[in-house]
Amino acid sequence: MVCIRKFCRLLKPVYFMKKMKRGLKNCITILALFFLISYMCYGEHRENKASDLFQRTQQASVFYLDNGMEVIFIENHANPMIAAVTIVKTGSRNEDAASNGSAHFLEHLLFNGTKKRTQEQIYSEIDFYGGYNNAHTTTDHTNYMILMPKEYIAQGMDIQADMLFNSTLPVEKFEKERGIVIEEIGKSANQPTYQVQNHSQRTFYTDTPYERPILGTVSTISHLKRDRVLTYYQTWYVPNNMTLMVIGDFTTAEMLELVKEKYGLYPPGPLPDHESIQLKQPSHFRIVRAHGVGKFPDNQQYLTMTYLLPPPASVDFASLGFLTEFLGSKENSILEMLFNQEPYKDMVNTISASLDFNRDFSTLQISAELPLNTDVDRVVELITQSVQNMAKNAIPANEISSALIAQQTQEIYLLEQLHYYAMMKSNYLVAGGYPFLLDYMDKALQVTPLSIRKAAEHYLRDRIPMVTLMSPPLQIPDITKAQSLNQYHRETLVNGLTVAVKENKDSRVTGIHLLAKERGLSEGKDAWGMTEILQRMLLEGGTDRHPGKALYQEFESIGAELKVHDNPYIPFDDYYHTPQFAYIRLKSIDTFFEKGLELLAEMVSQPKLTKEAFDQAKKQVIPLSATDAMSTGAVAYRLLYDNLFIRNPGFGWLLGDTKRLEKLQLHEVQAFHRTLYNPANLMLVISGNLPIEEVMKVVKNYFSSTWGEAGWQPPEFTPQFGKLGTTVHEKIGKPQSYIALANTFEMKEEDKPAVNILGNLFSDRLAFNLREKQGLAYTIGIQLGKYRDAHWYTISMGTRPENIKRAITGIQEEISHIRKATFEADEVQRTINAAIGRRGMRRLDRVNQAYYISMELLDGNTPEADDQYNERLKKVTPQDLKRLVHKVFQNDNHLIVIVE
């Protein structure tokens, strides 16, 4: 009605001005006004849609216990799980130079025993109840999170509160944990980005606690005394310095009583006064240069530009957040567009912007990876101009509306992943509590083109950034040369496309997983890695209807999340990254499901695989391939699979060989798309709340045609194992070594649950005996591999070179022990519950649900098989493990790979 009234008011003078000439001029005027008002109505519709989405996320209740602990409850009944995340408002900021690393060290120690639980009991109880228990440390706070099945949340909270308030920091565990933390520092230092970040921090935050690494250094951890850590614990770990967020399947009234019972018993404590940190703006421009050390990439350099901004309490903070997004933290950002056009397109490999903040200040950080031959001064000049131009070039209102919708849909997505939601909001809660978080989200709705321009003018136009550059080493010595009812449907369309749908009413999120089978075989050995280029081109090039960035803008306008390749900067999220398939993962809310599916169909069947998109994708993938070739873990897995199989179908080579990728031609990728993405080679799985009939109608509307080389199938292949009992040793000059030990076994489908439980149980024993007791590794575990009818296991471990012989002997001894072991009923039940809990955690997200259904289809099972697997796990007995242990670990004829 508001829009109609505006339209009538504007039309009235057109019809009733007596002196206005009639005819064509009037028609043109009316049409122009019609389109103007249509645009205004559309804008209002978008703003109302964003506001509506925002209101649906604000369902929290906030309480304060008598001991000062802030408690936030968010009910979410979509899954029978509950997360409790306690945010302790202290981190490395509250350390000095000598005690650097204490906060993170303490986080480790809290898992080692309390006044009433040993370390073994903490792990055992969490596993028994099917829970997940973890923590992480930042500069300003430390998060402790548990994720539990709802019926066991009381037990989980009891464990968490016990760890937080009753830990003893056992003397006998201190040295072991010191070794583990030093291993973690070594692992992190193995990453170029860690060196880049440290260089930037030490330069920008000179003479403040923020200049020091969160993990500490090998020196500070080696000399750290238990008394220093204990004093830190007693000072900061008091309830009046904590915020507890509980999110999941509960009722607030009952949960409040439980929280009072578990966390309200502990008294508050005196806290040191908050000492504000005042940073000074740089007085003059300079580039602070440094060289990486060790096996640092020799083909690129890393640029960081940091601007000092006001604290988050500033009225401009929300506008600065949107400014950062449009500048460089979204697809089709200003900086990305700048360096994708002539004559600047070869000056930057990647560029992004991020906004970081704490209670005292915030920062805008622009990070770029540059080719070695780039004119760095010119790149800095162009970036500086772009930042300054934010003060005079307005962001269109409709783009702000799209970003706002994306932000609010992201909020809805995040609410599915209970413990992640609390983690992602912890920075806001530490900076100002829940009122600040709520106020920020409210102010985001008030951001306008003018507010962004004013913020840029006030804080950025005349400011000088701190600029750091890290280049390759000067010399690189070559040392070596309550569950809802789920409904399912499966159907094969006439064009050969396999479709499966899961219907569940308890979440508005729709997850879509499109799978293209056998990427490794389809590429062929000489073109391994080509899929990585194709995947990026699908989004980069757009479609016939939405060319270039227009496609991403369409996805963004509905708040959709699209993923076409693994993020190389996030470790351990690539469990779905395999030569068995390529994927497109799409997430939307029910309101925008049809539009999202239409865009996905367009993207797959009508992509514009242009030369420009090809060049851009190669520029992204080739450096990743080169970096992969320098990683001890990646090299170890390449060697492992090249030797495990007579003919490797592509395991370990997802990023391909750099030299082969450099020779790849556009026409090869175009032809590859026509085969890999033809309908008969695809599986489309959808998990959402819409009725199956409605979903299938939409699917058939957009996916029933034919495209590509219709009917094409990957080459026939039967996996065969090579000769075992050998050791492959390769040195690539890294300070961190990697070991992989593998063997094969045979397994019947009915034994799959028991074999999985056996693998999990053995992995726990490996971790406890070699990591926890001996401190030999930061990570160790066993993975059960399967490709068609071939089965194998791999035990992998990252350690220091001096530990290699001891580590291999330790692994072999553990294999010998497991063959002779007895399996107690409690241990088996604990492992089963832990497996079910982990499965529940992995399936909180609708896209992940669709992914796991895809895996069952790929194995020839029904869509509901993944849901039914928990019941199969519950039937596993100690006798099953005893029967199978000699079949899985049948001999010592291992393939051993060592990379250092």
The pLDDT tens digits for 15-68 are 333 344 444 445 444 444 444 444 444 344 445 555 565 555 557 899 999 999
pLDDT for 664 beyond 60: yes
- Parallel, antiparallel, or unpaired: how do β-strands 581-589 and 737-745 relate? unpaired
Cβ-based neighbours of 531, under 8 Å, separated by 6 or more: 519, 522, 523, 582, 654, 672, 676
Alpha-carbon distance of 428 to 426, in angstroms, equals 5
pLDDT tens figures, 540-576: 999 999 999 999 999 999 999 999 988 776 655 565 6
pLDDT tens figures, 755-788: 999 999 999 999 999 888 888 887 889 999 999 9
Cβ–Cβ < 8 Å for 331, 316: no
Residue 558 CB coordination number (10 Å):
20
Count Cα neighbours of 257 within 13 Å in the Cβ-side half-sphere: 4
Mean pLDDT of 743-751: 95
**Could you tell me which of 566, 567, 546, 565 has the C-alpha nearest to residue 557?**
546
CA distances from 462 to 316, 469, 769, 884 (A): 17, 22, 58, 70
Mean pLDDT of 609-636: 92
Instruction: Say what the pLDDT of residue 772 is.
Output: 84
Instruction: Say what the pLDDT of residue 21 is.
Output: 42
What's phi and psi for 237, nearest 5 deg?
-90, 70
CA distances from 782 to 750, 785, 859 (A): 21, 10, 22
Q: Band of the pLDDT at 440, cuts 50, 70, 90?
A: confident
Least reliable range by pLDDT among 6-15, 184-193, 323-332: 6-15
- Parallel, antiparallel, or unpaired: how do β-strands 81-88 and 142-149 relate? antiparallel
pLDDT tens figures, 825-838: 999 999 999 999 99
Helix H, strand E, coil C: the string for 560-572 is CEEECCCCCCCCC
Alpha-carbon distance of 332 to 341, in angstroms, equals 12
pLDDT for 167 beyond 60: yes
Instruction: Say what the pLDDT of residue 39 is.
Output: 40
Count Cα neighbours of 229 within 13 Å in the Cβ-side half-sphere: 27
Instruction: Say what the pLDDT of residue 575 is.
Output: 59
Instruction: Say what the pLDDT of residue 15 is.
Output: 35
Instruction: Say what the pLDDT of residue 442 is.
Output: 85
Burial class (CB in 10 A: 0-12, 13-18, 19+), 705: middle
Helix locations, 390-417, DSSP H: 397-416
Quick one: 487-705 is in which CATH superfamily? Answer: Metalloenzyme, LuxS/M16 peptidase-like (3.30.830.10)
CATH 3.30.830.10 is held by the domain 727-899? yes
CA distances from 255 to 128, 238, 534 (A): 22, 21, 49
Q: What is the dihedral of CA 644, 650, 652, 657, to 10 degrees?
A: 120
Q: Band of the pLDDT at 577, cuts 50, 70, 90?
A: confident
> In this structure, is the dihedral angle defined by the CA atoms of residues 9, 10, 16 and 19, taken in order, positive or negative?
positive
Question: DSSP state, 369?
Answer: E
Residue range(s) of every CATH 3.30.830.10 domain in the chain: 61-264, 287-471, 487-705, 727-899
CA angle 303, 308, 311 (to 5 degrees): 140
Q: Which residue has the higher pLDDT, 191 or 604?
A: 604
Amino acid found at 522: S
Question: DSSP state, 479?
Answer: S
pLDDT for 392 beyond 70: yes
Instruction: Say what the pLDDT of residue 411 is.
Output: 85
Percent of the chain with pLDDT over 90: 78
3 state DSSP class of 67: coil
pLDDT tens figures, 216-261: 999 999 999 999 999 999 999 999 999 999 999 999 999 999 999 9
Q: Band of the pLDDT at 441, cuts 50, 70, 90?
A: confident
Least reliable range by pLDDT among 167-181, 348-362, 476-490, 734-748: 476-490
Least reliable range by pLDDT among 19-28, 376-385, 886-895: 19-28
pLDDT for 526 beyond 50: yes
- Token pair in block for residue 519: 């990427």
- What mean pLDDT, rounded, does the chain reach? 90
* CATH of region 61-264, choose from 3.30.830.10, 1.10.1270.20, 3.40.50.620, 3.40.50.300: 3.30.830.10
What's phi and psi for 343, nearest 5 deg?
-100, 25
pLDDT tens figures, 687-719: 999 999 999 999 999 999 999 999 999 999 999
Alpha-carbon distance of 824 to 829, in angstroms, equals 9
Mean pLDDT of 368-395: 96
Quick one: 287-471 is in which CATH superfamily? Answer: Metalloenzyme, LuxS/M16 peptidase-like (3.30.830.10)
